[in-house]
Amino acid sequence: MEVLCHVDNLPDEILSHVLGLVACEDLGAAVLALPLVCRRWRHVLQHHVTVSLAAPAAVAKATRAAGQALPSRPRIACTIPTAIGRFHKVAAIDLRPFRWVSVPCIESIALSCPALTSINLAHSNCLTGAGLAAISEGCPALRHINLAYCNWVTDAGIASVAQHCSSLVSLNLTFCKRVTDDGLVAIASRCHDLVSLQIAYCDGISDTGLIAIGSGCPTIVSLDLNCCNWVTDAGLAAIGSGCQALECLHLCFCNRATDAGLVAIGSGCPAIAAIDLSCCGWVTDAGLAAIGSGCQALESLNLEMCILVSHVGLAIVVQECPALARLNVVGCNGISDIGLAAIAFSGSTIITGRGSSPSFATSVTLPTA
């Protein structure tokens, strides 16, 4: 006999997921109406649902395919203060890619959601220091903040976050061009539990900021420094000496560092499981050897376009890192069949890109020996 599950029998976690999907599709109607259905729905919405003002990708794709227009962002923006007012205990808000949230809207969120722990403001074109200050002052419990591509965020806003949100765990500042070392110094002085930091493409970041992070944020697990052109060995040395819990490091296009920086990382960060060295033309076998001998938990290594590495360094990494499962050597002209043969006989299963030998496909899987 088939037994149908009534909505009232659903656990809060499942019901919150369903209601969250409905709210994502039509914030203006659904978020305002759903809490009025019954007490339980209101309770679930206030305590469990993540509010998102971004149309899901599938909905957006289907809407465009049908020749229809997505709901007007300014029209939705008008509903934010009223909608957020119903969610006093909401823990997470995702405003991506809602680019036109005004400062008054940001301030209303800050006033209405003191228990907020996560906010995504990526790509916001209107977020200023005043808006960021309002959020940080009104939501001191924030632990996760995404400010990627927020062009108007400055050190003053980041300093406000550091001052009021000392429990911060993850911070994404990718492409925040106005953030400099001063912002990182402020974060390092107050946010000692930081686990994830993304500062890729931040032109104002140099060794000074990394030295502060190395001394003030020992719990860093993931660090993205892609295209931080002013980072040198001194900055990497500070990370190596202060962030021993580091597991994931991105150094793509960090062209002012040398093998000495990798030696510092290899000797100080034994827990590293993934490292991206793509387009770092300065990496040689000496740097690879340091990573191989010091980071034996390594699982993923990206060496794309590292033109100075050879099969000698690669063989050391493969020999010293038995957990290595993913390897990219696209454009590594110094790695030949000899280096790839070392992988084949290492007893590991590794996905690799093309080296100098045309006999290998762009992506091949070498079976366990």
CA dihedral of 288, 291, 294, 295, whole degrees rounded to 10 = -140
- Taking each continuous run of H as one helix and of E as one strand, the counts in the chain are 16, 13
Q: What is the bridge-based pairing of β-strands 196-198 and 51-52?
A: unpaired
Q: Tell me if 186 sits within 8 A of 212, measured CB to CB.
A: no
In the three-class reduction of DSSP (H, G, I as helix; E, B as strand; rest coil), residue 284 is classed as coil
Average pLDDT estimate for 313-340 = 87
pLDDT tens track for 165-203: 999 999 999 999 999 999 999 999 999 999 999 999 999
Angle, helices 155-164 vs 181-190, to 10°: value is 0
DSSP 16-37: HHHHHHHHHH-IIIIIHHGGGT
Other CB atoms within a 10 A radius of the CB of residue 58 amount to: 8
Which tokens belong to 225?
Answer: 């420094």
At residue 55, the pLDDT reads 43
Between 66 and 244, the more confident residue is 244
Backbone angles phi, psi at 158, to 5 degrees: -65, -35
Residues paired with residue 93 on neighbouring β-strands, in sequence order = 51, 119
Q: What is the pTM of this model?
A: 0.80
In angstroms, rounded to a whole number, what is the distance separating the alpha carbons of residues 194 and 202? 18
Q: How far is CA 319 from CA 270, 314, 347, in A?
A: 16, 9, 9
Percent of the chain with pLDDT over 70: 71
Q: Say yes or no to pLDDT of 265 above 70.
A: yes
Average pLDDT estimate for 141-158 = 95
Instruction: Name the amino acid, one letter, at 86.
Output: R
Which tokens belong to 204?
Answer: 């104002």
In angstroms, rounded to a whole number, what is the distance separating the alpha carbons of residues 231 and 211? 10
DSSP label at 352? E
